[in-house]
Every structure is written in C-alpha cells, then in structure tokens.
Amino acid sequence: MPHEIDSVVLESDVVDGPNSGQVWKPNYDWDGYGFDTRQIHAGEFEEETFGARVTPLYLSNGFRFDSFDQSHARFAGTEPGQLYSRHLNPTNAVAERRIASLEGGAGAVVVGSGQAAISSALLALLESGDRFVSTASIYSGTRILFNRALKRLEVGVDYVWDYRDEAEWEANIHPNTKAIFTESIPNPKNDVVDVELVSRVARRHGIPLVIDNTVATPYLTRPLEQGADIVVHSSTKFLSGHGSVISGAIVDGGTFDWANSPRRYPLLTDRQAPGVPSFLERHGNDHAFEHYLRLTAVNDFGPALSPFNGFLLQQGLETLSLRMDRHLSSSHAIAHWLAGQPQVASVDYAGLEDSPYHDVAQRHYGGRPGSVFAFTVKGGQAGAKTFIDRLQVFSRMTNIGDVRSLVLNPATTTHLSFSPEDKARLGIHDGLIRLSVGLESLEDLLRDLENGLAAVSAAGHH
C-alpha cells in the first residue's frame, strides 16, 4: 500500500534553507512504506560526518566508550550500543534492521552464514537433553547439522515425514520438545510447507516455531504473519543474490510469550545474577529473544559477520523484489516446459497442477513457489551425468539464489553421505537434478536445457 503522507508538518522535519526558508529533513522512519521502498531505505541512519548516501563500511573490531560508566552499562546490557563487532557492528546493524522490516519482525541479528543462523537460533532455545521437531525434507546440510553436530550436544530431533498430517506433528511433540523447525520452501524438492498448519501445533503446545525462509524470501511470504515466531535466512542466497558473500540472518517476531510457555527457557526468562534483570524483564516479549540471542549464542560461539559482507548484503537487498520477479517467472516457465519433455520422468515443482503441494503453492505463493526445484531425468545417474556435462549456461556448482543459474545432482553431492534408505524416502533418486534458476534470458536457459536433454536421448538413456 502507498504510504499516506501526514499533512501536518512537524517542526523537527524541517530545517531552514538559505533561499527557500524551509528544507525537509531526510526520512529515517520507513514504517508503513511499501516493500520496494523499504528494501532500499529501511534501517539507515543519519551519517553526519560527510553525508554519505550509502551506509559506510565500519571496519573496526571495537569502539570507544565515552566513560567508565558507559563501558560498564554496555557490558551489563543496560545501555544499548556498540560493544564489539562480534556482537554488533554499525554496518551490519543497517542490514539487520532492513531484514527485520521486510520480514515484519521486531529485530534481527546477522551472522556469518545460513548454517550459523540456524545453529545460533536453535542453540539459544535448546539445552542438553532437549528435543525439537523438524520436517524431514529440508536442506541436506541442515539435516547433517541436526543429526551430527546437535546430536553430539545431546540435543535430539524428531522428523515429520508427512507434514500435511497434523496428527503426525502432534505425535512427535514430547514433554522436552522445545522448538519446531521447518523450511517454508524445502530445498531441493519444492515440497512447500503449510506454515499456518504447523503454527497451530506450535501454539497448542506453547513451543516457538522457527522457519527457514531462504528460498521464499519475505518478498514471497512472511512466515511471522502466518504464526511463526522466529525466521532464519541463509542471506548468502536470494537476499544477497550476487554470489559474492556468505551470511545469515535471524529475525525475532517479538510475539512469543516466553514467560507463560509451559516449556522453560531459563537463560532468557530468569535473572542470571542477583539484582541483574533478565532479558525478558529488560526488553519485554518484543525484543527479548533478539537481545538474548545477540548476547548469548551469537556472542558466545562467535559466528560474527564481517562488516564487509554485511555491506555486500545490503547491496543485494536493494534489488530483492526486482530479482525475485524474474526468478519466479522463469522458474514457472521452465518447470512447465520440463514437465512436457520425454526425457524427464518427473518434476518436483509445487506450481504444477499434479503436485500434491499445489494447493499450498496456490494459497501462499500464487502458484509460483520459488526458483529452486528439482526434476528427474531418465537414465539414472548416467542420464544425470550426461545432462549436466552438456550444459553451458547453467553453472555446475553448489549454492542457490544466485543471479546465475546453477545445476547439481544431489545424490552424488549434497546428499552423498545419506544412507540409501534415507535417499529413497526423501526422493533423492540417482537421476534427480536440482536447478536454481537465475536471471539470464529465458530463451537461453531453455535452449541450454534442451541441449542437455537432447544429449540424454542421443546417449540412449531411457
């Protein structure tokens, strides 16, 4: 919706000009403005030294305190502001506020990678002996994090395989379940999740719901509006978009009732020292998790984002909506084209009418569920090898969400360490091809795919 300009001119909005008499000050409050405007401006601060229009790059690990008392207040958490770049950096703070604005959150924390975002969010919620629930069909690296790293910390995960079945979610909730995690659009199978359904389960049990919104981005969907409590991103991907940065983000919705949850989150809700208010007492539900996360899991484990990468992340955010429109339209066209090719056994794209996830795709994504999806080429691994080796426009590489189109065979790369049984249950077949559709001309991408499929036919794969 367009922002309605208040007709009342406040004295603080205007400064004297040498000729006209009045000059309006730049705007720094972007609440109520449109998505495209906020992706360019939200989170900015007034740069008074030289009037730099682009956020300056603050390459400093530490920052001066004004006094003895201020240094004490910063460390005690009673005064906001700079402490050390591991915990907060002025360049990164702009990216944090911008991402929070786009997701509709109360605040955000940026970290060194998407994996760091997921692990930091969960380590803030979970302790040894706790469990959490996740959908089974999530990014392979996330499952490895859950099954290997968190297992070593004695944190357990229970997987839901049919996440359209509310009863299966219920069956996996235990007394020590402290979080629910899923991806809004899973990678690589595009088997989109009904976040509203999952949020109903989370609400019934007073458990925070964490949604990885990397593939969808807030341009397509905002999980906080559907009942999620925390959103994470590998901002390496679409939020940056240019393939030159590694970063992650955690967004606090500011709505979870920490004090009244039947689960206990003592580091957040309880006083950690006599006379020192808890995070909840200091910041209320609106910002408690954001500050708790910043000063515990992120500060303690140290997955800090370089301010240079934070600067590059901001550059990508400025064009998010424009890029996403192209990603989505090309992917929709390519998926439908692939579905009609004789060399293709199946296409995993929820925008197709025969997809079991088509109804969710229509409801939440207007039938265009992201630009990361998969299809199975005939001929198994040999067919996949022939197809991938023939491509010249699609880049053979890991990563998604780049301006460049990317291709990979999950069975021999991202899911290489998975057991044959898990691969089969997840639908990671030998001939499965994952695409991340970029911004090249659609005609060039289709021609490249056509050449790859022609090579499959010529090699006699069927």
22-79 pLDDT, tens digit per residue, is 888 888 899 999 999 999 999 998 877 788 888 989 999 999 999 999 998 888 878 8
Measuring CA to CA, how many Å separate 101 from each of 94, 154, 262? 11, 35, 30
Report how far residue 306's alpha carbon sits from residue 184's, in angstroms, rounded to the nearest whole number: 27
User: E strands along 269-382, which residues?
Assistant: 344-348, 372-377
Report how far residue 234's alpha carbon sits from residue 184's, in angstroms, rounded to the nearest whole number: 13
Tokens in use for 297? 């899991």
- Domains, the chain, in order of start with CATH, read 68-317 (3.40.640.10), 320-458 (3.90.1150.10)
371-423 pLDDT, tens digit per residue, is 999 999 999 999 999 999 999 999 999 999 999 999 999 999 999 999 999 99
Q: What pTM was computed for the model?
A: 0.93
Report how far residue 332's alpha carbon sits from residue 349's, in angstroms, rounded to the nearest whole number: 9
Which pLDDT value is given to residue 35?
96
Which pLDDT value is given to residue 14?
53
Count Cβ neighbours within 10 Å for each residue of 263-292 and write b for 16 or more, e otherwise. Answer: bebeebbeeeeeeeebbbeebebebbbbbb
Q: Among 346, 360, 333, which residue's Cα sits nearest to residue 437?
A: 333
Which pLDDT value is given to residue 87?
85
Which pLDDT value is given to residue 11?
47
Which pLDDT value is given to residue 46?
83
Count Cβ neighbours within 10 Å for each residue of 189-214 and write b for 16 or more, e otherwise. Answer: bbbbbbbebbbebbeebebbbbbbbb
Report how far residue 192's alpha carbon sits from residue 364's, in angstroms, rounded to the nearest whole number: 9
In a 10 Å sphere around its CB, with 0-12 CB exposed, 13-18 middle and 19+ buried, how is residue 6 labelled?
exposed
Which pLDDT value is given to residue 276?
84
In a 10 Å sphere around its CB, with 0-12 CB exposed, 13-18 middle and 19+ buried, how is residue 56 labelled?
middle
DSSP 8-state code for residue 2:
-
Which pLDDT value is given to residue 78?
80
Q: Among 188, 120, 108, which residue's Cα sits nearest to residue 401?
A: 188
Which pLDDT value is given to residue 10?
44
Report how far residue 131's alpha carbon sits from residue 155's, in angstroms, rounded to the nearest whole number: 6
Per the CB < 8 A criterion, the answer to whether 228 and 207 are in contact is no
Which pLDDT value is given to residue 362?
95
Distance in angstroms between the alpha carbons of the first and the last residue of the chain: 51
- Listed as ranges, residues in the chain with pLDDT below 70 are 1-21
DSSP 219-280: HH--GGGGT-SEEEE-TTTTTT-SSS---EEEEE-S---TTT-SS--HHHHS-SBTTBPPHH
Which pLDDT value is given to residue 13?
57
